[in-house]
Amino acid sequence: MTWEKDTKWLKTLSNECFSLLETLSFNNKVEGSESYEINGDVSIVKLISDNKKLSVMYQGSLKNKKTKSAFMPSSVIKTLDFLKINFNLTNGNRLQGDMSEYMGYRGWTNKKKAYSQVKKDLKFISNIRIEYSGKTSFAEMGLWGGGHGINNGKIFFLLSQPFADIFRKMNTQYINFKLFKVNTRKYPAAYLIAKKLSEVYSMNRKKSNAGKIAIGNLIKENPYIPKYDPKAGKVYRNIIAPTISGLEALSDVFFFNNIKQLRNQKGISRFLTFKLEYAPIDYPNIEIAKA
């Protein structure tokens, strides 16, 4: 393990390509990009991030995806985040984590359902190939290195060797284990809001603007909250309400200094430009550095 027994914030790795992957929306699907098998099922789908830096080839169908939803289901992101906690890849390409520990983090009690969900999550990840043109760019490659599953109570996922080499160079960040229990069915935007808050705090924690972020910047990449469109209407239901409820769902992990003032903002423009002030609860006093 990479954390002390009583630590709430767990060390992990991430960078822009992971952030873009996790915030891809169904709307990022390239029209006409599907390849079909003989029986008519979609076998390959292509998605491109809004900033054009990330291209994803996914082997599988997205036909049941809702328009306002992420490409990666929340459970898949959580499972990948848990495996990223155990990032010691010095002598190999294996991500691994204890299944009983993960069940505790997720609040799962039904072992059969938990095992089934994790296996689905791992299968989803194994079907992804990505190409990234940002900093430390790389050509198209798969994440999967030939094996995944649950063996002797251990979740494991073998990274492809090229991606393992990239993974080792990612930035150290922290995630609070309480976030794994966030109810993303009730608060679909909350988990990705939490990850954005953690990322921004990690980057700015030694600066004067630490713990401050404009609401518009907080939610602009969240696939569960639509971009503001004056022609669309229903801004309270579609933007304001899910943002506030998502923040309120994170009260065990973050302290929000001015959320009452946020609720009182009149009009969408004032809401989006409002500077949220927050602090992670019991954040570790550790220097952020390259792993």
List the structure tokens of 51.
Answer: 């900033």
Give the Cα separation of 261 and 276 in Å (integer).
9
For position 171, what pLDDT does the model report?
Answer: 83
For position 39, what pLDDT does the model report?
Answer: 58
Is residue 288 scored above 90 in pLDDT?
no
- Name the residue ranges covered by the structural domains of the chain: 9-178, 182-280
User: Mind giving me the DSSP string for 196-238?
Assistant: HHHHHHHHHTTSTTTTEEEHHHHHTT-TTSPPP-TTT--HIII
For position 37, what pLDDT does the model report?
Answer: 61
Give the Cα separation of 2 and 86 in Å (integer).
7
Residue-wise pLDDT for 229-247, tens only, equals 888 888 999 999 999 999 9
**Bigger pLDDT: 134 vs 53:** 53
φ and ψ of 142, to 5 deg: -90, 155
List the structure tokens of 189.
Answer: 């935007």
For position 194, what pLDDT does the model report?
Answer: 97
The answer to whether the beta carbons of residues 24 and 56 sit under 8 Å apart is yes
**Bigger pLDDT: 12 vs 43:** 12
**Dihedral sign (CA 2, 246, 68, 112):** positive
Exposure string for 119-142, b = 16+ CB within 10 A, e = fewer: eebbebbbbbbbbbeeeeeeeebb
For position 286, what pLDDT does the model report?
Answer: 56
For position 35, what pLDDT does the model report?
Answer: 66
For position 13, what pLDDT does the model report?
Answer: 83
For position 43, what pLDDT does the model report?
Answer: 72
For position 68, what pLDDT does the model report?
Answer: 62
Residue-wise pLDDT for 193-222, tens only, equals 999 999 999 888 888 888 999 999 999 999
Is residue 291 scored above 60 in pLDDT?
no
**Mean local confidence (pLDDT), 158-165:** 91
CATH class of segment(s) 9-178: mainly alpha
For position 290, what pLDDT does the model report?
Answer: 41
Residue-wise pLDDT for 79-131, tens only, equals 999 998 877 666 678 899 999 999 999 999 999 999 999 999 999 999 999 99
